[in-house]
A and B are shown apart, each in its own frame.
Chain A
Amino acid sequence: MLLLAKAALGLGGALVVAGAYTFHEGVIRVDVDEYRAGGSHIHLWVPAAMVPMTMHFVPRHHFRDAAEHAREFLPVAQALFKELKKFPDAQFVEVQSDDQHVQICTHDGKLQIDVHDSSENVHMLVPLSTLDDVVGQIEESAPGA
């Protein structure tokens, strides 16, 4: 009985450690709700740590193309995401009209983008560290980097 408990604890512990590692960078959350007949309802939760890991399996030429297209904006994006991490939660942009509300803010080290419209709601939450990693990896793949 005790042996079984120890085995269960070992297995459980391994699962928890794996889970804790997977979720240590937080979760990327994307919610899209379209309010029309046949509209999409997408609710996506992805462990943020998976993104940089998965990027290692993407063929390098895709990154080279992406880096080529975004060459002008990559240093800006990298500087922005790196610096944003240092600031407390804040609302950076808010646009409000009678039928639409858009906000871009940071919350608990995550970039949050919300769009509330009469026809759809879009909500995105991405850890800044993940964005920083992704931009860094794309920049490293740039020709001449």
Chain B
Amino acid sequence: MFKIHRGLITKAALVTATAVLLSPFGAQAQTTSAPAKPSQSTSSATQEKGERWLHVRVICTDGRGDTVRVNVPLELAEKVLPAVNHDRLHNGKVRIDSTEVGDVDLHALMDAIRTAKDGEYVTVQGNDNDVRVAKEGSHLMIHVVDKGGSKKSQVEVKVPMKVIEALLSAGKDELDLVAALHALGAQGDVELVSVKDSENTVKVWLDSKNVAD
């Protein structure tokens, strides 16, 4: 009786041990099976975590229908950008040449806009272009319509004032991109840039989804 039980117990132990030892292969087989497209369900996961994603979408409207979509988590950009040291970009800051901005004091200019009331600051209506620069609430709006030539285009830029302030927070001759990204992350969902012309449609926007529209 005891011998029968001992044999059974030994066999059961062997089977159990083999199953336990083989389980990593089973798990591995599952993880290495056909790679799938990232699930869109992760989108809700990112929303829960409060991650902010910058999206760029370019659609060629020339008939071929080429589309480019880029999705970047702002936190990733904030961490990686300081590692880029190329040309004028160092430690997440871009050095600007004062001669390039025509000796305009950007800080003084932005400070004036920040403290000013909402309104239209620049309105140019010409045969070739219409330009409108305005402050609406906490956003700086730039609207350009190019009417000249065969390629009519429309550009709309909407930048939160906090982002501009952060951008200019580095110093006189520098733009702090990392600080600007950080400030951008604190904003709600916003469409930052929209360009429409006869060949392309470009949209840059910010939201909490890790997938583009």
Contacts and interface: CB of A to CB of B under 8 A. Distances in A.
Contacts of B86: 72
B68 A75 contact: no
A16 B207 CA distance: 46
B98 interface: no
Contact of B64 (A13, A94, A97): A97
A54 interface: no
A16 B71 contact: no
Nearest to A91: B38
B65 A90 contact: no
A101 to B, nearest CB: 10
Interface residues of chain A: helix, strand, loop or mixed (majority):
mixed
Top 5 closest A-B pairs, CB basis? A89-B38, A20-B24, A79-B83, A75-B83, A90-B210
22 contacts: A12-B18, A16-B22, A23-B32, A26-B32, A29-B35, A75-B84, A75-B85, A78-B83, A79-B82, A84-B76, A87-B73, A88-B210, A90-B38, A91-B38, A91-B210, A92-B70, A93-B71, A96-B65, A96-B66, A103-B37, A107-B37, A123-B35
Given A23-B25, A93-B70, 15 more contacts: A23-B28, A29-B35, A79-B82, A83-B75, A88-B210, A89-B38, A89-B42, A90-B71, A92-B70, A92-B71, A94-B70, A95-B69, A96-B68, A97-B64, A98-B64
Interface of B: 10, 14, 17-18, 21-22, 24-25, 28, 31-32, 35-39, 42, 45-46, 51, 64-73, 75-76, 79-80, 82-86, 210-212
